[in-house]
């Protein structure tokens, strides 16, 4: 690390429905290994140094608890809990994860995206949308064509 380019701090939130693989994706990215077992996450924070164009970024990745979408719409409680304020303040970007085997998880990504944009008051926020569980090709729903 050069004195001219001290590391910059970045905070990324990983959001999506329950059981879409947010934790597996995060652990694979940060620790370079796949987690086979499923343990519901309340919230975990990981740190990774990423180098991009000669600049180091100390990146804090917040792996959040999954959101619930029931019967095609969120309940009022879910609507308010979709975007916790700590997942909106000081966040530099978002990874929204859905399972390619679950239409409701894809619908939840749309809702979360809208909540992020509403909360930020901006027309654009850095968001990456990830269709996960592509290895379950026999259960795939063709969601990618709609996204």
Length of the chain: 147
Question: How do residues 81-96 score in pLDDT, each as one tens digit?
Answer: 556 666 667 899 999 9
Proportion of the chain above pLDDT 90, given as a percent: 31
pLDDT for 75 equals 42
Above 80 in pLDDT, residue 20? yes
Q: Where are the domains of the chain?
A: 8-145
CATH fold of 8-145 reads Rossmann fold (3.40.50)
The pTM of the full predicted model, rounded to 2 decimals, is 0.78
pLDDT for 80 equals 43
Query: Would you list the DSSP string of 85-121?
Result: GGGTTT--EEEEEEETT-HHHHHHHHHHHHHHHHHHT
Mean pLDDT across the chain, nearest whole number?
79
pLDDT for 132 equals 87
Q: Find out whether 4 and 78 touch, Cβ atoms under 8 Å.
A: no
Above 70 in pLDDT, residue 74? no
How many angstroms separate the most distant Cα atoms in the chain?
54
Q: Find out whether 10 and 57 touch, Cβ atoms under 8 Å.
A: yes
């Amino acid at each position: 690390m050069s004195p001219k380019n001290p590391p910059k701090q970045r905070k990324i939130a990983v959001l999506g429905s329950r059981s879409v693989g947010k934790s597996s994706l995060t652990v694979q990215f940060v620790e370079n290994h796949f987690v086979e077992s499923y343990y519901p996450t309340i919230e975990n924070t990981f740190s990774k140094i990423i180098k991009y164009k000669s600049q180091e970024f100390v990146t804090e990745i917040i792996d959040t608890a999954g959101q619930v979408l029931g019967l095609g719409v969120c309940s009022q409680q879910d609507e308010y809990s979709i975007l916790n304020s700590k997942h909106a303040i000081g966040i530099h970007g978002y990874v929204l994860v859905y399972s390619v085997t679950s239409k409701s998880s894809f619908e939840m990504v749309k809702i979360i995206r809208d909540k992020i944009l509403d909360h930020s008051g901006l027309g654009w926020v850095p968001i990456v949308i990830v269709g996960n569980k592509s290895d379950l090709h026999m259960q795939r729903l063709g969601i990618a064509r709609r996204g």
